Amino acid sequence: MLELIDVTRVVGAETHIDRVSLRLERGSLNVLLGPTLAGKTSLMRLMAGLDRPSSGRIVADGKDVTNLSVRHRNVAMVYQQFINYPAFTVYENIASPLRVAGRPQREIDEAVRRAARLLKLEPYLDRTVLNLSGGQQQRTAIARALVKGADLVLLDEPLANLDYKLREELREELPRIFTESGAIFVYATTEPSEALLLGGNTVALSQGRVTQFGPTAAIYRRPADLLTARTFSDPPLNVASAEKSAQGLRSQLGFAAPLSERMRALPDGAYQIGIRPHHLALNARPETVAMNGMAVIAEVTGSDTFVHADVAGQRVVALLPGVQRVEPGAPVTLHFDPANMLIFDAQGRAIGEPVPLAA
């Protein structure tokens, strides 16, 4: 188990990590989710022992390792920018931590070939890494981390440089590998979709602070606050103010939504709502409410269309399936099920029921 207890990291006048407390269990996959500069890499460096906290403690399996350097910890780390031994073959790069540990050749060979098979590196084992593509070099770095048998494996956006097909394959395989290893895995990403695909637990980060920690699906369904909801939304969450009264919830976006049972018990007054872009649609259904606006631009990505609309003077983004022909300047009506709406109080704290798991 790895515990971070009220850990803070201050560099000069800047606070990189702000009073973070976490408890990561063995055999767990923990996703650090947040935008660039949220503190993901800084937090990983503290976990690894590459940096020391300005205050707080780090405890591994009951032992205080706060001031223990990385050389004295059983840690493996993979960065977005791959790091390999340039003069070594792929085989020797993967085998290097096992050779340092003095493992027998038969064990080394089995471990290297198993990792190479998983990461599609078998045809390249005899090549030096300088003769590989960037994606192949990154896969080599991941394979080396996997065979090390570390207690803590840190992966800092490790799939960012891989092609789409291999990235999807590895996202499916990695959770199983992580669970079987018994190690603690910490995986940093800026992509909410990647966190959902990997599962496990998610640490939502913003400006060096943990805004929420728990099972990934649970945080997605019920973010504790607006900051976490924004972190867990790509494209960006549509946010607007709303006023609750006995007649319903009326939004500044021009629609009125019926009150759920939980909302009826809340005081009348000001609230904030969040609507995920993929919950918006062009077609009405019996349970949906509508908001009217003007299309600003439609971006077709191939399988989806992003429609940006001006609704009551506010930009709203809808993620629609397929190719949608929406002309700029044309009127557009966007429909959504209010059951999927996230509701926050004036301070940004979440209220109401969790949205459906499939949402």
Query: Is 149 a member of any domain?
Result: yes
What is residue 45's predicted lDDT score, i.e. its pLDDT? Answer: 95
Query: Is residue 314 domain-shared with residue 196, that is, in the same domain?
Result: no
Phi, psi values for residue 117, rounded to 5°: -65, -45
Query: Is 162 a member of any domain?
Result: yes
What is residue 355's predicted lDDT score, i.e. its pLDDT? Answer: 54
Domain containing residue 304:
235-351
Domain boundary, last residue among 230, 252, 283: 230
User: Among residues 322, 326, 337, 247, which one has the least CA distance to residue 290?
Assistant: 337
What is residue 134's predicted lDDT score, i.e. its pLDDT? Answer: 78
Query: What confidence tens digit (pLDDT) does each residue in 58-115 have?
Result: 999 999 999 998 988 989 988 877 788 898 999 999 999 999 989 999 999 999 998 8
Query: Is 217 a member of any domain?
Result: yes
Domain boundary, last residue among 205, 230, 255: 230
Query: Is residue 283 domain-shared with residue 226, that is, in the same domain?
Result: no
Query: Is residue 226 domain-shared with residue 239, that is, in the same domain?
Result: no
What is residue 356's predicted lDDT score, i.e. its pLDDT? Answer: 53
What is residue 358's predicted lDDT score, i.e. its pLDDT? Answer: 45
What is residue 357's predicted lDDT score, i.e. its pLDDT? Answer: 45
Query: Is residue 285 domain-shared with residue 148, that is, in the same domain?
Result: no
Distance, in Å, from the CA atom of 260 to the CA atom of 181, rounded to the nearest integer, reads: 45
Query: Is residue 123 domain-shared with residue 51, that is, in the same domain?
Result: yes
Query: Is residue 169 domain-shared with residue 310, that is, in the same domain?
Result: no
Residue 237: how many other CB atoms lie within 10 Å = 19
CATH number for 317: 2.40.50.140
Query: Is 249 a member of any domain?
Result: yes
pLDDT-flagged residues of the chain (< 50):
357-359
CATH number for 86: 3.40.50.300
Distance, in Å, from the CA atom of 194 to the CA atom of 155, rounded to the nearest integer, reads: 13
* Tally of domains in the chain: 2
Using CA atoms of 321, 325, 331, 334 in order, give the dihedral in degrees to the nearest 10: -10
Query: Is residue 220 domain-shared with residue 239, that is, in the same domain?
Result: no
What is residue 359's predicted lDDT score, i.e. its pLDDT? Answer: 45
pTM for this entry: 0.88
Query: Is residue 195 domain-shared with residue 273, that is, in the same domain?
Result: no
Distance, in Å, from the CA atom of 92 to the CA atom of 126, rounded to the nearest integer, reads: 9
Query: Is residue 215 domain-shared with residue 245, that is, in the same domain?
Result: no
Inter-residue contact 33 to 203 (CB < 8 Å): yes
Residue 269: how many other CB atoms lie within 10 Å = 11
